[in-house]
Amino acid sequence: MAGRTVYDKIWDDHAVAERGDGMTILYVDRHLLHEVTSPQAFEGLALAGRELWRRSANLATPDHNVPTTNRAAGIDGIDDPIAKEQVVVLDANCRRYGVRQFEMTDVRQGIVHVIGPEQGATLPGMTIVCGDSHTSTHGAFAALAHGIGTSEVEHVLATQCLAQRKSRNMRILAEGELNLGVSAKDMVLAIIRRVGTAGATGHAIEYAGSAVRALTMEGRMTLCNMSIEAGGRAGLVAVDDTTVDYVRGRPFAPVGATWDEAEAYWRTLVSDDDAVFDEEIVLNAAEIGPQVTWGTSPELVLGIDEEVPAAHFFEDASKRELCERALEYMDLKPGTPIASLPVDRVFIGSCTNGRIEDFRAAAQVLDGRKVARNVVQAMAVPGSGLVKRQAEAEGLDSVFKAAGFEWRDPGCSMCLAMNADRLYPGERSAATSNRNFEGRQGYRGRTHLVSPAMAAAAAVAGHFTDVREML
């Protein structure tokens, strides 16, 4: 038998049965829920008269539309009555079905992809799904994790399974060492530029190579998080000491003899030497500099020392058209150095870059510096209440506030602007989130994706700039 990839192994360990129609019934170990994509699923479950299959598999928290101010007021602090109803309905559904929830006022509340790993509810080898495309984040733990739609949320609630076809295997090998000031975010943006926004469609990605091994768990989460921006539903990293050390001691992690048994299993979650990948892409990590997206697709990426391209730069007709639309929407002229673009708002946070190391990296740049006058707002939004508490214990909040940043409460915030945190028409942001689509951060807003250190540098300079010159 040919060797197996990590993805193959997890798949094999969760395949329940063939459904008889070409689909495999795949068992789901962990199901994460939030307020936006779950109400219709719970309603469907009730309408069909079905029961929740396994209560303890589920963990819920409101994150997408919660405000990032005045959180002590709880649900009453949500001004938007429609958003409020969603949070009320999540509370009601969790109570009705006995699902564990970190409610708005709980210090453990946060972005669903931050709290899973933080709590140890994300464990190696698990199948993990959530009605959110950035569920790929959890793949950092050698878990098979991907986003699902609301019908599939209902399917998991009712059956603890998904009906699936197996994906193909893709390996992205990043060898060498990242330079100082260059992070996992820069690495993943460079990967998406290379692979393209649909390049990994139909594939489960395994990130490997010395540059990936050298990343912390938080860096690996940033990397896996944006797999979907390359078209891959799932992205993962094999288990090593870094994985095991991170998980040990977390509230949901096993202890004692069960831990030993679990660890022994987790250590098998590496791809066999003779495993076959359908696609392979190799990058030299040492060649990656700080990255900035310039357009309205995450594949439209530049190094900080590059210039906005002209449409004729692209050979492919549809790429040329995409580029022309992006130039117009972003109000850019070909040949403009990306470093010359002024920034109106800065957003540090999201499931991509809302963890403690992200705030440390930004604070290192901000320490002793001020946000530039032309920047109308700079926001730091911790990914969870516990990230916020940790940052405050380290005094990072003081650094952010002294620099002129707003220090907010946890949530998805301006990544998708479902709450009050947003760009206004024509404004340009430096954002540590994951999508630069038209209107993503606010109607007619213009988003440039960067790392936390690069966002901090842009806040200080008032325009994009090479953070390496500030370290």
Partner 1 sequence: MTPFVRHTGLAAPLDRANVDTDQIIPKQFLKSIRRTGFGDNLFDAWRYQDEGDIGQNPNERRIDHDFVLNLPRYADASILLARANFGCGSSREHAVWALLEYGFRCVIAPSFADIFFTNAQKNGLLLIVLQDEVVAHLFAKAQGEGLTLTVDLPTQTLSGGGTDVRFNIAPERKRLLVEGLDDIGLTLHHADAIRAFEAKHRARMPWIFEEPA
Least CB distance to partner 1 at residue 182 (A): 26
Partners of 128 in the beta sheet? 30, 145
- Give the Cα separation of 301 and 281 in Å (integer): 18
- Residue from 223, 288, 371, 418 binding partner 1 (CB under 8 A): 418
Backbone angles phi, psi at 206, to 5 degrees: -110, 125
**How far apart are CB 79 and partner 1 at their closest, in Å?**
12
- Let me know if 368 is exposed, middle or buried by CB neighbors in 10 A (0-12, 13-18, 19+): exposed
Cβ distance to partner 1 smaller for residue 30 or 185: 30
Which of 9, 71, 440, 446 contacts partner 1 by CB under 8 A? 440
Identity at 442, one-letter amino acid code: G
The binder of partner 1 chosen from 5, 65, 122, 429 (CB under 8 A): 65
In the shown chain, the binding pattern of residues 339 to 378 toward partner 1, with x for contact by CB under 8 A and - for none, equals: ----------------------------------------
Interface with partner 1 (CB under 8 A), residue from 74, 202, 209, 462: 202
Residue in 256, 259, 271 with CA at minimum distance from that of residue 212:
271
Count other Cβ atoms within 10 Å, centred on residue 72.
10
- Reduce the DSSP state of residue 460 to 3 states and report it: helix
Q: Which of residues 271-310 bind partner 1 (CB under 8 A)?
A: 297
Task: Name residues contacting partner 1, limited to 214-243 (CB under 8 A).
Answer: 228, 231, 233
Q: From the list 8, 118, 152, 397, which residue makes contact with partner 1 (rule: CB under 8 A)? A: 152
**Member of 322, 348, 381, 396 binding partner 1 (CB under 8 A):** 322
What is the residue type of 409?
Answer: D
**CB 434, min distance to partner 1, A:** 9
Candidate list 10, 239, 361, 416; residue touching partner 1; CB under 8 A: 416
- Ramachandran area for residue 283 (φ above 0: left; ψ -120 to 50: alpha; else beta): beta
Question: What is the distance between the alpha carbons of residues 262 and 253, in angstroms, rounded to a whole number?
Answer: 9
E strand segments, 34-183: 58-60, 100-101, 127-130, 144-147, 161-164, 168-175
Cβ neighbours of residue 33 closer than 8 Å, sequence gap 6 or more: 58, 59, 60, 61, 90, 94, 99, 112, 130, 131, 153
Neighbours of 426 (CB within 10 A): 11
Amino acid of residue 315: E
Beta strands in 366-469 (DSSP E): 377-380, 406-407, 428-431, 446-449
- Shortest approach of partner 1 to residue 457 CB, angstroms? 27
Contact mark string toward partner 1, 78..107, x via CB under 8 A: --x-xx-xx--x----------x-------
Tell whether residue 161 is a contact of partner 1 (CB under 8 A). yes
Out of 74, 77, 176, 254, the only residue in the binding site for partner 1 (CB under 8 A) is 254
Least distance from C-beta 190 to partner 1, angstroms? 19
Exactly one of 3, 12, 50, 166 binds partner 1 (CB under 8 A); that residue is: 50
The answer to the question of residue 155 lying near partner 1 (CB under 8 A) is yes
Token readout for 138 is 């959890």
Q: Which of 117, 125, 382, 385 forms a contact with partner 1 (CB under 8 A)? A: 125
